[in-house]
Structure 1
Amino acid sequence: MWWGWRGRLRRQAGVADLPAVPDDAAPAVLSVAGQYVTTTSAGDWLDRIAVHGMGIRTNAVLELRDTGVLLLRKGAPDIYIAAGALEEVTTQAGMAGKFVEADGLVVITWRLGGKLVDTGFRTTEATAKKPLLQALKALVPAEAPQAHSPQAQRTELPEADTTRRNDENE
């Protein structure tokens, strides 16, 4: 396993450095305890990003700020995601190394340099997930493309086909 992890680190050497937390960062609007699961290449829940300690699962506190999201991780570098880098916020049942109930993980899709990545977070308290999701979705820029989401990839039936299917069911 060590050789595989070392090879992954070497292949990912070109991944941009983690953004620094701005000195003038606003105070937390919302703070939620939980577990940082991992960061993977967007849409590929098995392609774990190993560089910068991003592949290490840790306990964490997710702080939502007006300027972005701060993941305060225990034993690993903190991750700051500027609001402008956010692309999408969804839920999933799992990512590399962690699988839970349906929609049990909050997944933040964002740009790390030129690479689109997914970061997973699991709230400690189940009741904290819904307010967190709402607050995160409100922070995503309106013009952010959501091309890799399953909802965006679905093809809709033409209007005529939909009508015909409805007539057949009556």
Structure 2
Amino acid sequence: MTREGALLVVVAVTVLLLAVLAWAWWRRTRRDAVWSAPVGEIPADARETALFETLYVATTRHGEPLERLAIGGLAFRSRAALTVTDAGFALDLTGEPRLFFAAARLDDIAQATVAIDRVVERDGLVRVTWRIDDETLVDSYFRPQDASARALADALRGILPIPTGSDA
């Protein structure tokens, strides 16, 4: 095989791989189009309790840290400011509208080590489990930049709804 022939094979394989990747992402975004991120502002009567500079890592299916969801507004990793209030938390991702996660949507806060392509020291990520709709739980992962993961997790645990009745 000549050099030109080998180059054409490499270029063809590269183009094919890129096409498969684009097709897979397109299918994922269509699959996840039924959901949307909770765009909104912090309620006027909410009291801010903490502010964290974070890296938003990903949102995945609950309990499946390697299954990324392509939810509009939460599909890509980004730097973010996470504002904790007594009514929930706001997330300001670079280039996206503000997201507000009301405390009633939150199900669990924990620390994690792995999410998608991010592996950090033990418990270096914060996993927020929240309800994207009435029956679906998802996990969003954050990597604090100016504080410990424990400090962020503790601040968020303070706004978890208290289980009542059959939830307890």
TM-score category of the 2 structures, normalised to the smaller one: 0.7 to 0.9
Matches within 5 A, 1:116-135: 116-125=137-146, 127-135=147-155
- State the secondary structure of the residue aligned to 2:64: coil
RMSD: 2.0
Give 5+ residue unaligned stretches, structure 2: 1-20
Equivalent position to 1:47, from 67, 71, 81: 67
Residue 25 and residue 11 in structure 1: after superposition, are their counterparts in 2 closer, same or farther (change >3 A)?
Answer: farther
Matches within 5 A, 1:7-156: 7-24=27-44, 26-114=46-134, 115-125=136-146, 127-143=147-163
Distance 1:105 1:80 in 2: 20
Q: What TM-score comes out, normalization by structure 1 length? A: 0.77
- State the secondary structure of the residue aligned to 1:7: helix
Q: Percent identity?
A: 31
Distance 2:98 2:156 in 1: 18
Moved over 4 A (4+): none
Number of aligned residues? 144
Residue 132 and residue 72 in structure 1: after superposition, are their counterparts in 2 closer, same or farther (change >3 A)?
Answer: same
Bigger radius of gyration among the two:
2
Give 5+ residue unaligned stretches, structure 1: 145-170
